[in-house]
Amino acid sequence: MRIESDDVLIVIDVQNDFCPGGALEVPRGDEVIAPILCIAPRFRHTVLTEDWHPANHISFAASHPGKKPFETIALAYGPQTLWPLHCVQGTAGADFHPRLHLPQAELILRKGFRPQIDSYSAFFENDRATPTGLAGYLRERGLTRVFFAGLAYDFCVGYSALDARRLGFPAVILRDACRAIDLNGSVAAMEAEFVKAGVAVIETAQILDVAARENAEEGIRQGLADAESGRIRSAKSFFDEFENGHGTPR
Q: Pick between residue 18 and residue 169 the one whose CB is nearest to ligand VGL.
A: 18
Question: How many angstroms separate the CA atoms of 20 and 48, rounded?
Answer: 20
Q: Is 95 a catalytic residue?
A: no
Is residue 11 within 8 Å of residue 149, measured between CB atoms?
yes
Question: In 3D, which of 109, 101, 102 has the Cα closest to residue 52?
Answer: 109
Concatenated DSSP letters for 65-98?
TT--TT-EEEETTEEEE-B-S--BTTSGGGSBPT
| Interacting partner of 153 out of ligand VGL, Zn ion, none (Cβ under 5 to 8 A depending on kind) | none
Does 50 contact Zn ion by CB under 5 A? no
Q: Between 186-197 and 158-166, two packed helices, what is the crossing angle to 10 degrees?
A: 20
51 is a catalytic site residue: no
User: Out of 8, 11, 13, 164, which residue is the one contacting ligand VGL (CB under 6 A)?
Assistant: 13
Residue 13 annotated in active site: yes
What is the CB neighbour count within 10 angstroms for residue 5?
9
Q: CB of residue 62 vs ligand VGL: minimum separation in angstroms?
A: 14
**124 belongs to the binding site for ligand VGL (CB under 6 A):** no
Q: Does 169 bind ligand VGL (CB under 6 A)?
A: no
List contacts with Zn ion (CB under 5 A): 51
List contacts with ligand VGL (CB under 6 A): 13, 18, 51, 83, 120, 151-152, 155-156
Annotated catalytic residues are: 13, 111, 156
